[in-house]
Amino acid sequence: MRKQRKVIWSVVIAIGFLFFSYCITNLDFPISGEKALLYRFEMVRNYLFPRGNTVNDSILLIDVSFDKIPVKTTDEYGLTIGDIQITDRKKLLDLLQELKKRDDYKYILLDAFFGQKGKTPHDSALYATICSMKRIVIPCHADEALADSSLMKKAGWADYTSTYNVSGFSKYSYMSDKGMSLPLRMYKDITGRTIRRHGLLYTDGWWLVSKSIVLTFDVNANSAYNEKGEKVWYYLGADILGNEEERGLLYEIPELTKDKYIVIGAMQGDDSHSTYIGSVSGAIINLNAYFSLLDKHHVVSITLAVILFCAFFFLAYLTISRQDLRGLTESITQKQSYRLRTRLIAMSALCSWIGYSLFLSILCILTYVFLGEVYEIFVTSTMFYFLSLTVKYTDNFKRLSKIWKRKD
């Protein structure tokens, strides 16, 4: 095959693989082990440069982990089957009524599920308050309906999918057949924009976007205090509302909630999920997913697209040229200077040693560190594997055809 045709075919293959990689990225579930790769990388980085809390002044975290009460739950026949622990609805009602009266907050992410299991005397008032408030969102789930259908107008889906080889939380899907996610509803309420589907493509306004992404966790709250000893989480009962003997911060500090993203949820305990940076609460995952939208992390990066196109083109050219990295480098460095030739040959020797799979893994880490974006390694490696098989079997078929012609 002439060099010009090889270049053209390499461009076509690179564009096709780039589009296929985009489609795979938009799946609701992870396919390969990016979570394990990033987990190992973050373990090393956190050892060298410990990752502390990264919660800015625009966020108010209210922890309800220690504000639980037992309530009786019944089965479909109305028979009592035991007690479950739910967030104290009376305290939630007191908090939301005060926030509604002030109406000075930026947005409220109330990460408490109001399902049909367990009822309290305060439910009706609580649900009515939530429905009457501005700029508030609650989660809903596919496996259990909300206790009151009126809550759906304030709800967003908060489910993620795991696979047999990737447990825990790995990637966030902003929309599905069920509707928009909790962070996407926040994003639409605040900015007026949303993600729209056009066949295999997704857009946000004029931008091409991914509807599922690997979060970079720019907001991190892995402990109750930061490095300066300042409190990061505030407990709903003990800190925010107070008690009969001492008024809480909500009443002592009038500007506590002004222009704040108020996140209410269990920051520790049962609502924690395994991620590549460790255990993270569901409320913090949803908050990070929202800020990723706000920071345009879901927008397809032109820089990443160019980098991946160049990498795919290079690997495709190698494959259809029936060369490895060392052979290709030696062929193109014959007329180069000694210094440049030495560097290219050394680089090719290193690439040949580490292999394509590790090469793509290193590229994944670099794009994660410098661009904050992650692509599917396993799918990319598999595509090039099948391309190499296609080239190999095509060569074998041509060789056999020549032998058959000679025999004839």
Q: Which candidate, 129, 118, 173, 179, places its Cα nearest to that of 151? A: 129
Distance of CA 253 to the CA centre of its chain: 35
Write the pLDDT tens digit of every residue in 137-191: 999 988 888 988 899 999 999 876 644 344 457 788 898 878 889 999 999 999 9
> Residue 28 is encoded by which pair of tokens?
């609701």
- Name which of 180, 184, 189, 185 is nearest 105 in CA terms: 189
Q: Read off the tokens for 10.
A: 């390499």
CA distance 295 to 9: 36
Closest CA to 325 of 341, 348, 345, 347: 348
What digits encode the pLDDT tens for the residues 358-390?
777 778 788 887 777 777 777 777 777 777 777
- What are the angstrom distances between the C-alpha of 158 and each of 82, 141, 185, 286, 351? 26, 6, 11, 8, 42
Please choose, from the candidates 225, 227, 228, 226, the residue with its C-alpha nearest in 3D space to the C-alpha of residue 239.
Answer: 225
The three-class DSSP label of residue 103 is: coil
The CA distance from 316 to 176, in Å, is 33
Which parts of the chain have pLDDT scores under 50? 162-167, 325-326, 329-330, 333, 349-354
3-state class of 368 per DSSP?
A: helix
| CA–CA gap between residue 87 and residue 150 (Å, rounded) | 20
Contact in structure between 35 and 168 (CB atoms under 8 Å): yes
pLDDT score, position 384: 76
What does DSSP say about strands 172-173 and 212-213: parallel, antiparallel, or unpaired?
antiparallel
- Within its chain, how far is the Cα of 82 from the centroid? 36
- Give the span between the Cα atoms of 119 and 184, in whole angstroms: 29
Q: Both ends of the chain: CA-CA distance in Å?
A: 26
